[in-house]
Structure 1
Amino acid sequence: MPTEDKAALLMLCSTLSLSLTGLVAKFLTSEFSLLTLLFLRLFIPAVLMLSVVASIKIVLPKKNLMKPILTRSVCVVGCQICFLTSLTQLTLVESVVLFATGPLFIPVLEKLFFGTAIKRVVKVALTVTFIGVILMTSDGSSIHFKPEMLIGLGAGMFNAGSQLSLYRSSKGDMSASATNGWSFLFSSLLVLPISLWYGLSDADRVILAAPIESWVSWLALLVLALVTMSNQIFRSKAYKLAESNSQLAPLIFTHLLFTLVWQLTFFDAEVTQEKVLGVVLIVVASLMQTFISKREKIPKLKLKSCR
C-alpha cells in the first residue's frame, strides 16, 4: 500500500476513534454524575498511557515542560467540562460540531497571549461559524437562543488552548503518550477535590457498590479510554507518514460524518434543514481557515528551504 494511502487510512482510524469518544461519552452522561464521569474520563486514560510508557521507561516531565503541561491540564479540564455538559443538553452532532471549532479559536488565543495579528480569513471564518451556531438553534420554524451552544463553543475554545499547550510541550523530548498521560493525570488530580467536595450521586453509588452488575458502564469507560488513546496514536502515525499536514486536513472533519451516522443510528433526534446548514457552515469555516492558512505559509517554507 502506498505511503499516502496508509496515512489517509490511519487518519480515518483516528477520526473514527474521535467520533466514538463522543458516542460513548454521550451514553455515560446518563450513567454517572458529571464530576464523577469527568474524573474517570481523565484518570483511566492517564493510567493506561503512563503504564504503556512505564513498561518501556519511566519518563518524568522536566522542569521546562511543567508549565505547558499544567496549562494543558487546565484546558483539558475546561474542555471536558464544557463538552460533557453540552452532551447532556444538546444532540451528539451539535456537541461534536461545536467541539470541532477549536482550530478557529487558536488564532484568537494567540492574539490574546502572544500578540499575534488575527488574519482577515480568520475573522471571516469566525463570523461564518457563529452564523452556523445560530442556525443550529433553529427548530424548523424559528430560532431560539440556547445557552448550551455557548457551553459547546467553550469546549472548542478550551480545546484550542489545549492544542497550543500541546504544541509547546511537543518541543521537548517526551513522547506523545507521556505528554498526554501526564496532562490527563494532572487534569484528573485537579478535578478530584471538586468531585470529593460534591460527593457521589445515587447513580454513582449504585455503580460503585455493584461493579459486576454495572459491567456495561465500566466496559464503556474502558472503551472510552481506549478510543481516546487510539485517536492520539493513529493521528501521530498518520502525520509521520504524510508529506504535509494539508494532505490530511480534509480528512480531519470526517469525524463529523461518523458522528452523524451514530446520531441517526442510536438517537431519535430531529435534524432540520437549518441545523444541517449550520453544521455545513461551521465545517466550511474550519476548512476555509485551514486551507488558506496553509497556502499562505507555502512561500515562507520555500524560502527557508533555499537557504
Structure 2
Amino acid sequence: MRILLWHVHGSWTTSFVQGDHEYLLPVTADRGPDGLGRARTWDWPASVREVPIEQLRETALDLVVLQRPHEQRLAEEWTGRRPGRDVPAVYVEHNTPIGDVPLTRHPMAGQDAVPVVHVTAFNDLFWDCGSAPTLVVDHGVVDPGHRYTGEVARAAVVVNDPVRRGRFVGTDLVPGLTAAGGVDVFGMNVEKLGAELGLGPERLRTYEDLPQERMHAELARRRVYVHTTRWTSLGLSLIEAMHLGMPVVALATTEAVTAVPPSAGVLTTRREELPAAVARFLADPDLARGCGSAARTHALRHYGLPRFLAAWDRVLDRVLRGD
C-alpha cells in the first residue's frame, strides 16, 4: 500500500512507518512544517520516501493519512484528489482538545467520509466528533531495549518547548521537583529553561535535541523518569521510558492513568507528592529497579510495536474496503 502522510509527530511516525507499506512524505523547497520530509533524529526504514510536492499529482496513492485540519486542503491542491472521496483517507488525532473542554468540537466533525482515529481512548471520550466515525489505536513504540541502570541519581524529564508551553507541560512543577534532587530535562528548546526558572546546573541541567538513540541511552542512566505534562493525549516519551525499564512518577491526568500501573511507580494529582515520590526513588535504587521492571513489562504488553502495527493494518484495510 502506498500511503501519503506528513512528517508531523516524529515519534509516532517512527512507529507507524515500521509497517509493511510504502510511506510517501511531501517535501517542500524550504523543508518547512508542511514539507519536512524524512526525519533527521529518528531512524526510519528505506520504505519511507520523500516526494517533492510538484510530483504528487503524478504519484499513485492508495490512502492518505491526515493529521492537521489544513492537510485536507493541501492534499487536494497537491495531489488533485479529495481525501475521503477520490482517495481513501483517515484523520489521526494526536492531541487532547483545547478550548471549551469537554464541549470542544473536532474539525472533522459533521462528515462521514474520513474516519477519525484517536491515539488514546481519552481523546475519543473528550473530543466532540459529532457524526464522524471514530476509532482508537493505542500508541506503540519501537522497543529500545531494557537499558536501565539508574546510575545517575537524578530525575529525568522529557519535554519540548517548556518555556513557551508552560503549564500545559508542567514547567511550573520543575522547581518543586529539584527539592528532591537534581533534574535533567531533555527535549527541543530546553536550553533556556534554567535561566527562565532561576535554577543553576546543580538543580537543573538541560540536554537539547539529542538523537533518539543517544537520548534513550542517557535517560536509562537516570534513576527515575518524571512525566510532568498536565494536558496531553499520552506522551510517547513516557512509554519509551517505561520500555527502557525506568520507574515512573507521573501526573494522574488524561491517558496516563491507564498507561502507568501502580507497580510501575507513582501516579498522583497532589503537587506535594511529586517531589516526595522522586526522593524515594533517588534514595532507594532497588525500589527504582523493581518498579522499572514492572513498567517495562506493562509497556511491552500494552504499547508494543507488533500490536500497534496490526491494529493499524486492520484500520487501513477497513478504510480501503469502505466499511
Q: TM-score, normalised by structure 1?
A: 0.22
Q: Which has the higher contact order (CA 8 A, sep 6+)?
A: 1
Q: TM-score, normalised by structure 2?
A: 0.21
Higher strand share: 2
